[in-house]
Amino acid sequence: MTNLSPNESFPLLSILIFSPLLAAAIAAFIRSENLLRWWTLAFTSAAAILSLGLWRQFDPDTAKFQFVELSHWIPFLKVDYAVGIDGISLMLVLLTTLIMPLCVLCSWRYIQTRVKEFMICLLIMETAMVGVFCAMDFVLFFIFWEAMLIPMALLIGIWGGPRKIYASLKFFIYTMSGSIFLLVAIIALRYQVGSFSIPDMMRAGHSLPLGFQYWVFLAFFISFAIKVPMFPFHTWLPAAHVEAPTAGSVLLASVLLKMGTYGFLRFSLPITPDATHFFTPYVLGLSVIAIVYGGLTALAQTDLKKLVAYSSVAHMGFATLGIFALNTFGIQGAVLVMINHGVTTGALFIMVGIIYERLHTRDLGETAGIGRTMPIFSLFAGVFALSSLAFPGTNSFIGEFLVMSGGFAVSKGMMICVVPGVVLAAAYMLRMLQKIAYGGTHNPVYPGLKDLGFREIITLTPLLVFVFWIGLHPEPFTRVMEKSVQNLLEQTRQAPAVASVVRASSFELRTSDLP
Amino acid sequence: MAPTHDIRLLLAVLAPLIGAGLVMATGKRPNVREACSFLAAITLFAITASLIPAIHAGQKLHFTLFQLLPGLSISLRADALSMVFAVSASFLWVITVFYAAGYMRSLQEHEQTRFNTCFALALFGAIGCAFSDNLLTLYLFYEIVSICTYPLVAHHQDEESYAGAEKYITYLTATAKGLILPAMVLIYVLTGNLDFANNINSGILPADVNRWVVTALYACCILGFAKNGVMPFHSWLPSAMVAPTPVSALLHAVAVVKVGVFSTVRVMLFVFGVDRMNALNLGLPTAYFVSITIVVASIVALSKDNLKARLAYSTVSQLSYIILGVALLKPSGIEGGLVHIANHAFSKITLFFCAGAIYVATHKKSISEMNGLGRVMPFTFGAFALASLSMIGAPPVAGFVSKWYLLNGAFDAGSIGIIVVLLVSTLLNTAYFAPVVYNGFFGKPSEADLKHKFTEAHPLMVVPLAITAAISVVIGLYPGFFMSFVHAVL
């Protein structure tokens, strides 16, 4: 499947990737702040509608990359401009384009200073994020990957809270150090495979020497695990979330965290399949720790944003658990968990932003009982909190159910360790919901507290629709990725000969295998 | 007979849901709001009743709402077992609507709209459980009941009710997510679907599954549906008694706890199946395990002076009768257990109604302060006496029928131990109910009480409790209606 066959027709992906840059350039010349907001909203909404074209035209019956565009870019380095999507990246592209207008909407009043720069940053982010999910050439991928870093650091560093510089620097250093390993791995692969083309590398997969695969896997792993973030690489996340403006938190949670898990799916599994099998138990172990640890830590938080941030660690633990379960249930579940986390946690961050705009606090004690004067808010908060704890009938349930099914197929003992994490998810979310909706017997009083306005309801409604759509009728979502997941599993399937080698030799890095 | 698709199942589930919406929308006008509650309740009962002929004819009705994944759907079914629960719950909701209106208005309670909305939503969950066609649907509605009853338990919004509600939700969600969810996922992995079997014998688990895995799954299910009140996860139930009495009455004697027992029984019979339970010898150990609950809860009930607390522990004890009966795995045991779902519902709701009526009329909660009240509240105490007889298992009240079949089942199973448990618990039941009735009628009222000139509570409360007491007697004398369903389950 891996050969890219370019699609001669309309360059839909390139337009999706680069038109935000154009929009940003135009935004630079708009003076009125309100016009800027409307312009960015209109543009991102248009991009979201355009991306539905991908959904409509996508052929779910093949695992081939679709909407492929291929042209030579830097011939002497054999770097190509190659983009394309399969079922997995399609979902993430759609998630990104859907989230963008909501980010603009939730910043409407929240961002009052440097509106122009803010909107330009958002638009550049869109280019980079869509680019990451579409890139079929490793150099192109890396450029987009790095391009995300600066606007995101700016979003935190300029529009963030009191400790914004600390948080943005921490985010930058963590991600940057991960990227260096990624770059080294890319160059090493280039010499081993002879091409930067991602499909070429996937095809090379099993033929790569085992020791080489170990090193590449580890380099990938550090880079992606920081991004996910997996325990113990997660400490940048709460800091970044707490300081980031609402839109920054939403982008971070909904899209940026997915890049780590996307990296595992797109690169680690197919390019280093034998190393993947070798390292699977360790990654699974870390995932289980992340699920339980994230839950425990979330339960201890009094800052709403920190609570949601740590819940993200736990949710992403489910995603990595599903991926490294290495079976259909697990990977399908993992992709759904990724999408669901984008929808639900994005919504929760918007909810927290709504509270912060009104009360200028995110403390659970100070927000106690606000639900009584804000019934519509409570209703939305209730649905998203239930979705986050994987209530049956909501989106997260399907994802976690599949991941747990995949996990049980691997090891029952491991899943018994996951169960406390599942219970904790209910504990911290219900605790939050109880505080917001009821509080205690002596709640702070906020005179003149307004319930959700029209703009806020419009922001949250699409996410609400997805909560129930994926929760009750996931078939359209599972169908587009079915073939891609099968294909991925075939690529990752352990070669029998190698399997015995892996079992026979313990973890032994053979430097002679390196180029 | 082939399953028939029937939209009435969907309508039955929708009736309380739409009712909840209407109640919320008409909250500003109490009379209209109560009318909406009543309308939803009577609609639900009518729809449920309309299913009776088909079920009597041996049909099984189905309705699929959502297909989630292969082998995983949200779908409804009506069979004989669902009818035992659905008929009693929906009928008692109608009665409770009146009682709740009387109670809440007499006490001028706050947030009556929220109360009525959540009440309807809880019934939505309960009916959903009754009509579940598979484990996933059952789990979905089970969780809906947990979440929607939280505001009811926390209704008073004081320290005590928050503490009670926290315990309530913690116990129920932790057991459901910690035990039922993993068990459900594992069953799905093992069998590829979660649909209940079509008879009580075969179960759905493949024959080659390791016996210890099956035993572990079974234990998860018995303990995980903690609404069934089986020890050690029972203590949410007494804590939940901080709720207003109509909540305790309908939810904590009928809907919530019966959702727990019903789910347990449904899973025992239609997921594991009698054959598998026999093969793995799971029946009698379960019966002995719940016997501990029966006896211990009765002893605790003896020590409680608060009437609602005593009733709560009585509920804990009586619920385990149902599981015990089914766990005997003999036809008469299963029949006795299942019919007790309905019998206990009618009698226990009467007892709670009485407790609420006494509280509204006299503001008394302690049994020791109720001396002589029977003379000024003859209907209430008369109803209480009848329902107590039912709990004890004396003829001609409903509880006798259950106990008759349970004892037959215990003899069939040849277990002296279980027979002893049933006898001991009967004595204990008498010990904690008889004094209430006796002192109520024959005790000497205090000087203060004599001055007060207490009378019966509002007729909106007394008439419902008289009706449920009368029905307890009727289904004791003519047990045919519910027994016909129970027979059909086998």
pLDDT in tens, A147-178: 888 888 888 888 888 888 888 888 889 888 88
B72 interaction partners in chain A (CB closer than 8 Å): 401
Listing DSSP states for B50-118 in one string gives HHHHHHHTT--EEEEEEEEETTEEEEEEE-HHHHHHHHHHHHHHHHHHHHHHHHHHHTT-S-HHHHHHH
Q: Model-level pTM? A: 0.89
Q: Where would I find the H helices in A360-474? A: 375-388, 395-410, 412-437, 454-472
Asked if A416 has any chain B CB less than 8 Å from its own CB, the reply is: yes
Under the banding of pLDDT at 50, 70 and 90, the label for residue A2 is very low
In a domain, B205, yes or no: no
Instruction: Give pLDDT, residue A291.
Output: 92
Longest dimension (CA), chain A: 72
Give per-residue pLDDT as tens, A341-360. 999 999 999 999 888 888 88
**Cis? peptide before B396, omega within 30° of 0:** yes
How far, in Å, CA of A408 to CA of B178, rounded?
A: 15
- A159-163, A333-337, B78-82: which range is least confident on average? A159-163
CA of A434: which chain B residue's CA is closest?
Answer: B166
**Secondary structure of residue A68 in the 3-state scheme:** strand
Closest CA–CA distance from residue B185 to any residue of chain A (Å): 6
Q: Tell me, what DSSP letter sits at residue A207?
A: G
Instruction: Give pLDDT, residue B262.
Output: 92
How far, in Å, CA of B119 to CA of B100, rounded?
A: 10
Q: How many CB atoms lie within 10 A of CB B175?
A: 23
Give per-residue pLDDT as tens, A163-220. 888 888 888 898 888 899 999 999 888 888 888 888 888 888 778 888 888 898 999 9
Instruction: Give pLDDT, residue B47.
Output: 92
Instruction: Give pLDDT, residue A7.
Output: 59
Longest dimension (CA), chain B: 73
- A115-119, A495-499, A511-515: which range is least confident on average? A511-515
In a domain, B238, yes or no: no
Share of chain A above pLDDT 90, in %: 28
Do the beta carbons of residue B334 and residue B326 sit within 8 Å?
A: yes
Give per-residue pLDDT as tens, B201-232. 888 888 888 889 889 999 999 998 988 888 88
Under the banding of pLDDT at 50, 70 and 90, the label for residue A514 is very low
Matching residue, tokens 């680019």: A131
Give per-residue pLDDT as tens, B238-284. 888 888 888 888 777 788 889 999 999 999 999 998 888 888 888 88
Q: Is the pLDDT of residue A496 over 70?
A: no
Closest CA–CA distance from residue A183 to any residue of chain B (Å): 40
How far, in Å, CA of B388 to CA of B434, rounded?
A: 8
* Interval B48-70 mean pLDDT: 87
Q: Is the pLDDT of residue B453 over 90?
A: no
Q: How many CB atoms lie within 10 A of CB B210?
A: 9
Mean pLDDT (chain B) is 87
Reading the block at residue A445, the tokens are 């009083």
Instruction: Give pLDDT, residue A515.
Output: 35
Do the beta carbons of residue A467 and residue A395 sit within 8 Å?
A: yes
Do the beta carbons of residue A237 and residue A313 sit within 8 Å?
A: yes
Q: Tell me, what DSSP letter sits at residue A85?
A: E
Do the beta carbons of residue A244 and residue A100 sit within 8 Å?
A: no
CA angle at B136 for the pair B169 and B89, rounded to the nearest 5°? 65
How far, in Å, CA of B33 to CA of B466, rounded?
A: 25
Determine, for residues A478 and B174 on separate chains, whether the beta-carbon distance falls below 8 Å: no
Q: Where would I find the H helices in B363-397? A: 373-376, 378-392
Q: Is the pLDDT of residue A486 over 90?
A: no
Instruction: Give pLDDT, residue B414.
Output: 85
- Residue-range domain boundaries for chain A: 12-486
| A83 strand-pairing partners | A69, A135
How far the first Cα of chain A sits from its last, in Å, is 27
Do the beta carbons of residue B264 and residue B180 sit within 8 Å?
A: no
Instruction: Give pLDDT, residue A511.
Output: 36
In a domain, B444, yes or no: yes
Give per-residue pLDDT as tens, A244-275. 888 889 988 889 899 999 999 988 888 888 88
Closest CA–CA distance from residue A499 to any residue of chain B (Å): 25
* Interval B38-57 mean pLDDT: 89
Determine, for residues A473 and B66 on separate chains, whether the beta-carbon distance falls below 8 Å: yes
Instruction: Give pLDDT, residue B3.
Output: 62
In a domain, B442, yes or no: yes
In a domain, B243, yes or no: no
Under the banding of pLDDT at 50, 70 and 90, the label for residue B25 is confident
Q: Which residues of B touch A (CB under 8 A)?
A: 66-69, 72, 74, 136, 139-140, 143, 147, 150, 154, 157-159, 162, 166, 169-170, 173-174, 177-178, 181-182, 185-186, 188-189, 213
Under the banding of pLDDT at 50, 70 and 90, the label for residue A504 is very low
Instruction: Give pLDDT, residue B447.
Output: 78
How far, in Å, CA of A204 to CA of A198, rounded?
A: 10
Instruction: Give pLDDT, residue B283.
Output: 87
Matching residue, tokens 């209606």: B481
Give per-residue pLDDT as tens, B103-152. 777 777 777 788 888 888 999 999 999 999 999 999 999 999 998 888 88
Determine, for residues A408 and B186 on separate chains, whether the beta-carbon distance falls below 8 Å: yes
How far, in Å, CA of B401 to CA of A370, rounded?
A: 52
Do the beta carbons of residue A385 and residue A323 sit within 8 Å?
A: no
Instruction: Give pLDDT, residue B5.
Output: 82
CA of B155: which chain A residue's CA is closest?
Answer: A438
Instruction: Give pLDDT, residue B292.
Output: 92
Closest CA–CA distance from residue B411 to any residue of chain A (Å): 40
Q: Is A229 left (phi over 0), alpha (psi -120 to 50) or beta?
A: beta
In a domain, B199, yes or no: no
Reading the block at residue A450, the tokens are 């307004």
Under the banding of pLDDT at 50, 70 and 90, the label for residue B1 is very low
Do the beta carbons of residue A409 and residue A329 sit within 8 Å?
A: yes
For A409, the closest of B159, B170, B189 (CB atoms) is: B189
- A221-230, B28-37, B178-187: which range is least confident on average? B28-37
Give the helix/strand (H/E) hosting A275.
helix A273-299
* Interval B63-74 mean pLDDT: 86
How far, in Å, CA of A407 to CA of A308, rounded?
A: 24
Do the beta carbons of residue A392 and residue A310 sit within 8 Å?
A: no
Q: Is the pLDDT of residue A5 over 70?
A: no
Name the most confidently modeled range: B151-155, B349-353, B394-398.
B349-353
Determine, for residues A472 and B177 on separate chains, whether the beta-carbon distance falls below 8 Å: no
CA of B189: which chain A residue's CA is closest?
Answer: A405
How far, in Å, CA of B432 to CA of B439, rounded?
A: 12
Determine, for residues A408 and B189 on separate chains, whether the beta-carbon distance falls below 8 Å: yes
* Interval B329-352 mean pLDDT: 90
A393 interaction partners in chain B (CB closer than 8 Å): 74, 140
Instruction: Give pLDDT, residue B479.
Output: 84
Give per-residue pLDDT as tens, A76-123. 878 888 888 888 899 999 999 999 999 888 888 888 888 888 889 889
Determine, for residues A438 and B162 on separate chains, whether the beta-carbon distance falls below 8 Å: yes
Determine, for residues B136 and A440 on separate chains, whether the beta-carbon distance falls below 8 Å: no
* Interval B166-192 mean pLDDT: 89
Domain carrying residue B436: 282-490
Q: Which of A391, A479, A485 to mutate to test the interface with B (most CBs of B within 10 A)?
A: A391
B145 interaction partners in chain A (CB closer than 8 Å): none
Q: Which of B137, B181, B184 to mutate to test the interface with A (most CBs of A within 10 A)?
A: B181
Q: How many domains does one find in chain B?
A: 1
Determine, for residues B189 and A440 on separate chains, whether the beta-carbon distance falls below 8 Å: no
For residue B92, what are the contacts with CB-CB under 8 A and spacing of at least 6? B250, B254, B345, B346, B349, B468
Pairing of strands B61-69, B4-5: parallel
Closest CA–CA distance from residue A360 to any residue of chain B (Å): 26
Matching residue, tokens 């009941």: B145
Q: What amino acid is encoded at A191 in this protein?
A: Y
A330 interaction partners in chain B (CB closer than 8 Å): none
Do the beta carbons of residue B406 and residue B288 sit within 8 Å?
A: no
Do the beta carbons of residue B150 and residue A403 sit within 8 Å?
A: no
Q: Where would I find the H helices in B240-330? A: 245-246, 256-267, 274-279, 283-302, 307-327
